[in-house]
Chains A and B, each alone.
Chain A
Amino acid sequence: MPRVHRRQRTWLARFVRHYPLGAAAGLAILGLASLAALAGYLAPYDPVANDFGAMFAAPSARHWFGTDAFGRDVLSRILYGARTALLVGFASSLVGATIGGIVGVTGAYFGGTIDLLIQRLADIMISFPIIILALAIVAILGSGTVNLIVAIALSFVPRIELVVRASALSVRETAYVEAARAIGARHWRIILRHMVPNVTAPYLVMLTAFLGQAILLEASLSFLGLGVNEPTAAWGLMLSGAAVEFVERAPWMAVFPGLAITLTVLAFNVLGDSLRDALDPRLRT
C-alpha cells in the first residue's frame, strides 16, 4: 500500500508542476464543491423562500447579489444551484462515459456484425446536435432532475463510444491480448483484465471533457423549462423568465447566475484540457 500511495503522490506532484493552470482549475472546482456541500450553512437565506417585501432588491449588505422576482436571495440560490450543477454534471458524464466505454470496448473486441451495427447507430446519433438529442430524450422521459441526467448521459454515449472504441481497437491488436486468447482465456476476462485497464486514459479524458458540456446542457435545458423544475435552485432556471423580462430593472438576476455557469464550465474545461494533455495527448483536437 505505501508504495502505491507514493506513486500516486508523485503523479499528482508532476501534474501540478507541469500543468499549474489545470491544478488551479482543480482547486477551484474543489472550492466550488465545498461551497455546494456547505450551502446549508453558508447561504444567508432559504433558496426557495419567497419574500414579497423584497422583490427585485438591488445588491446590498442584506442581499449581496440582490433578489429575484419572488424576493428570493440570488446568492443563496446560486450556492444551492451549485449542488444541482455539480450533481447533474458529474452524474451524467459518469453514466454517459461508462456506458459509452462499455459499448466501445465490447464493439471493438468482438468486431463483426455487432460492431458494425453499433457503429452505424452511433454515426446516426452523432448527426444530431447534442442539445437536440437531449431535448428529444427529455420529450420522451419528461422533465425533472433524474430524467435530465439520463437525457444528457445518453446524448454523450455515441460521442464517447467512438473515441473509446478507437483506442480499444489498437489494444485488441496487441501481442498480450493475442497471447491471452492463445492460452484460452475467456472473453470477459480478456476484456476486463487486458482491454479495460488500457483504455482508462481515454475514458477519463472523455469523462472530464464532457463535464463542462454537461453543466452547460443542464443550464440550457433548465432555461428552456425542460430540465430541473421550479422551485429547485438551478443556474439555468434562474436565467429564464423574469431574468430576461426585467433585465434592465434587475440586471443582477441575469449577471450572477450566468457568471457562475461560465466560471464553473471554464474551470472544468481547463482541468479537462490539462488532464487530456497529461494522460493521452493523442486525443488533442
Chain B
Amino acid sequence: MARYLTRRLLLMVPTLLAVAVIIFVLVRVIPGDIVELRLVSGGSFVTKSVIEAERARLGLNKPIWRQFVDWMSGLPRLDLGRSMWTAAPIIQEIALRFQLSLQLAIMSTLIAVAIALPLGIAAAVRRGTWVDYGVQVISVAGLATPSFWLGILLLLALLSYFHWLPPLTFTPLWVSPKANLLQLIWPALAVGYRYSAVTTRMTRSAMLEVLQEDYVRTAWAKGLAQRVIVVRHALRNALMPVVTVIGLEFAFLIGGLVVTEQVFNLNGIGKLFVDAIARRDYTMIQGLLLLVATVYIVVNFLIEALYVWLDPRVSYG
C-alpha cells in the first residue's frame, strides 16, 4: 500500500510538469505584444525606448526558450516570477489571498456535506415517497440557481431585515473568529447550497445501490435497527463515490469561486484571477492557473489515498 501511494505521489511530478508546459504555451498564444497593449491602449503616446525598457524589465526581450527555462527553473523554488501589475512576487500575492479562499472552500464544503448527506440518505431510504421527490426538487433547484444570484439575494435579505452588510475588509479567523465567521458564512451558504446538489444526488444513488445488496437484506432479516443498517451497513459502503465527489468539488472551490467572491467583495484567489485578466497581468494568470491545477492534482491524490484507507478489500500492487 505504501509503495502504491509512493508511486502515485511520484507520478504527480510529470503531470505537474506537463501542466506547467501547457500553461506556458497557452499564455504565449495570446496575440499582440503585452507591453504595447498595456502602455499604448490608453491612447497615450509612448516612445519606443520606454516600451523597450518595459519589455526588458518584464524579461520579454529574451528569446522564448530562455523565458521558458526561467519559468520552469523557478518552479521547484516556488518562484513564479513577479506580477506585471504590482511587481510583487506572485507567490506572495497568492499567499495573501489563499487563506481566504481556502477557508471559504472548507466552510462551503462543510455546509454542502451537512445538507447533502442527510438529504441523500433520507431520499434513498424513503425512495419513491414525497421525501424522495422533495429532496430531488431541492437538489435540481440547487443545480439551476447561480450561486452569485443566491448571494445577491442573501445580501438583499440581510439589508432589509438587519440593515447590515458584511464588512468590506477581511478579518482573519485568529484576529476575531466571530467577525470572520459572520463575514464568510453568507458566501459559504450561497456556494454550499449549490454544491450540495451534486453530492445529494451522488449520495442518493450510491445508497440506493448498496441498499439492494444481499448483506443489507440479511441485516434486515436479523432484525437489526434501521439506524444501524443505514449507517453501519449501507452508508459506510456507499461512501466512496460520495467522498470522491466531495473532494473534487472542494478542489474546484479553491479557484472556482470567481463570481461569488466578486458579489461579496472578497479578495480571494478567484477575484485575483479576474483582476489579472482585466489588467492583462499574464505572469499572474500563469501562476494562478498552475496553482488551481496543482490543488486539483493534489486533492485527487488525497482522494486515492483515502480510498486505500476506506476500502481494505482493494489490494494495490
A interface residue numbers (CB < 8 A to B)? 120-121, 123-124, 127-129, 131-132, 135-136, 138-140, 212, 216, 219-220, 223-226, 239, 243-244, 247-248, 251, 254-255, 258, 261-263, 265-266, 269-270, 273, 284-285
Residues of B within 8 A of A (CB): 15, 18-19, 22, 26, 29-31, 140-141, 143-146, 148-149, 152-153, 155-156, 159-160, 201-202, 205, 252, 255-256, 258-259, 262-263, 273-274, 277-278, 280, 285, 289, 292-293, 296-297, 300
> What CA separation (Å) do A219 and B22 show in the bound complex?
28
Secondary structure of the A contact surface, majority rule: helix
Kindly report which residue of chain A lies nearest to residue B156, judged by CB atoms. A247
Which residue in A140, A239, A265 is a CB contact (below 8 Å) of B152?
Answer: A239
Cross-chain pairs A/B with CB under 8 angstroms, 15 sampled: A120-B18, A124-B19, A128-B296, A129-B252, A132-B256, A132-B273, A140-B29, A219-B146, A223-B148, A224-B262, A226-B278, A239-B148, A254-B149, A254-B153, A285-B205
Determine how close the nearest CB of chain A comes to the CB of B241; give it in whole angstroms.
9
Closest-CB distance, A103 to chain B (whole angstroms): 16
Residue in B145, B156, B202 whose CB lies within 8 Å of A262: B145
Contact A128 B146 (CB under 8 A): no
Task: Using known A-B contacts A128-B293, A132-B255, A136-B26, determine if residue A261 contacts B274 with beta carbons closer than 8 Å.
Answer: no
A-B complex: 10 closest residue pairs judged by Cβ atoms:
A129-B256, A258-B149, A266-B144, A265-B144, A127-B296, A129-B252, A139-B277, A248-B159, A127-B293, A220-B259
- The complex places the Cα of A136 from the Cα of B273 at a distance, in Å, of 9
**B140 close to A223 (CB less than 8 A):** no
List, in ascending order, chain B residues with CB within 8 A of A224's CB: 258-259, 262, 274
Check if B152 sits within 8 Å of A258, measured CB to CB: yes
Asked if residues A136 and B205 are in contact (CB atoms below 8 Å), the reply is no
Distance (whole angstroms) from the CB of A37 to the closest CB of chain B: 23
Do A128 and B292 contact each other (CB < 8 Å), given the known contacts A140-B30, A220-B146?
yes
Kindly count the residue-residue contacts between A and B in the assembled complex, taking CB atoms under 8 Å apart.
116
Question: Is the beta-carbon distance between B156 and A239 smaller than 8 angstroms?
Answer: no
Among the listed B19, B202, B278, which residue makes an inter-chain contact with A127, where contact means beta carbons less than 8 Å apart?
B19
A residues within 8 A CB of B144?
Answer: 212, 262-263, 265-266, 269
**B-side interface mostly:** helix
Hey, which chain B residues are within 8 Å of A265, CB to CB? 143-146
A223-B150 Cα distance, complex, nearest whole Å: 14
A127 to B290, CA, bound (A): 10
A254 to B300, alpha carbons, bound, how many Å? 37
Residue of B nearest to A264 (CB): B144
Report how far A131 CA is from B153 CA in the complex, Å. Answer: 22
A243 and B152 within 8 A (CB)? yes
Query: Chain A residues with Cβ under 8 A from B300's Cβ?
Result: 127
B256 to chain A: which residues have CB within 8 Å?
A: 129, 131-132
Verify B274–A226 contact, CB threshold 8 A: yes
Q: Are A266 and B141 also in contact (CB < 8 A) when A223-B262, A248-B156, A285-B201 are?
A: yes
What residues of chain A lie closer than 8 Å to B31, measured between beta carbons? 140
Contacting residues, chain A, for B152 (C-beta < 8 A): 239, 243-244, 247, 254, 258
In the assembled complex, how far is the CB of residue B221 from the closest CB belonging to chain A, in whole angstroms?
Answer: 30
Contact of A223 with B259 at beta-carbon distance under 8 Å, contacts A124-B15, A127-B293, A262-B149 already known: yes
C-alpha gap A129/B143 in the complex (Å)? 16
Chain A residues lying within 8 Å of B155, measured Cβ to Cβ, are 244, 247
Contacts of A120 in B (CB 8 A): 18
Minimum CB–CB distance from A8 to chain B (whole Å) comes to 28
- Within the complex, which residue of B22, B255, B274, B285 is in contact with A124, where a contact is CB–CB below 8 Å? B22
For B274, the closest partner residue in chain A by CB is A224
Q: How far is the CB of B295 from chain A (nearest CB, A)?
A: 9
Docked Cα-Cα span, A23 to B148, in Å, equals: 29
Assembled-state Cα–Cα distance A212/B30 (Å): 29
